[in-house]
Amino acid sequence: MNTTLKLTPPAVGEIWTGQGGIYAGIVPARNGAEAYHLVIGEELGRFEWGPYEVEAPSISLSDGKANTLVMLEANDEYPAAKAAAAHQADGHTDFYLPAAAELYEAWLNLGDKGWGWVWSSSQRSANSAFFLLFADGSQGGNVKSHVLPIRPVRRLPI
């Protein structure tokens, strides 16, 4: 017997009641991972990404959950990932710092929400990490020691 509960999301851009944030649409299947619903939480403040001139363990451009987990194992060196993972909303504690592709997918679905720059969990180099500008969807790299806002996300199966 299938005990998996099928969730019915609201319209993209609406608060998903009981799920901790705004429904940001479906992240398509890629790199062997299944597609999933993405929920994006409130802005938690501005944080440094992590140590400058250090190769981070977060190498995925598409899997923020995996990035966040390996960053948390690095002994509090990654403030943005730590803050995202500590976030709780509507009883959920499975938030993480989204990867660059997840942020871009959210922007494709949500458009300009007036949120400005947002850190991703994806490293660009030993000196910089990817960010996304929600005003126009542009992505780039910023020095890891700079402070930028973060928006934690969580995923739900389709």
Note the pTM of the prediction, 2 decimals: 0.93
Domain membership flag for residue 30: no
Task: Report residue 34: phi and psi, to 5°.
Answer: -75, 160
Whether the pLDDT of residue 6 is over 80: the answer is no
Domain membership flag for residue 84: yes
Task: Report residue 27: phi and psi, to 5°.
Answer: -90, 120
The answer to whether the Cα torsion of 15, 17, 20, 23 is positive or negative is: negative
| Nearest alpha-carbon partner for 39 in 119, 105, 100, 112 | 105
- Contact present, 17 and 9 (Cβ < 8 Å): no
Domain membership flag for residue 146: yes
Domain membership flag for residue 25: no
Alpha-carbon span 138 to 33, nearest angstrom: 25
Domain membership flag for residue 54: yes
Whether the pLDDT of residue 2 is over 80: the answer is no
**Could you give the angle at the alpha carbon of 103 between the alpha carbons of 101 and 106, nearest 5°?**
110
Domain membership flag for residue 17: no
DSSP type of residue 79: H
pLDDT digits (tens, 9 = 90+) for 103-155: 999 999 999 988 999 999 999 999 999 999 999 999 989 899 999 999 999 99
Domain that holds residue 62: 42-151
Alpha-carbon span 80 to 149, nearest angstrom: 9
Instruction: Give how many domains the chain has, as a whole number.
Output: 1
Whether the pLDDT of residue 30 is over 60: the answer is yes
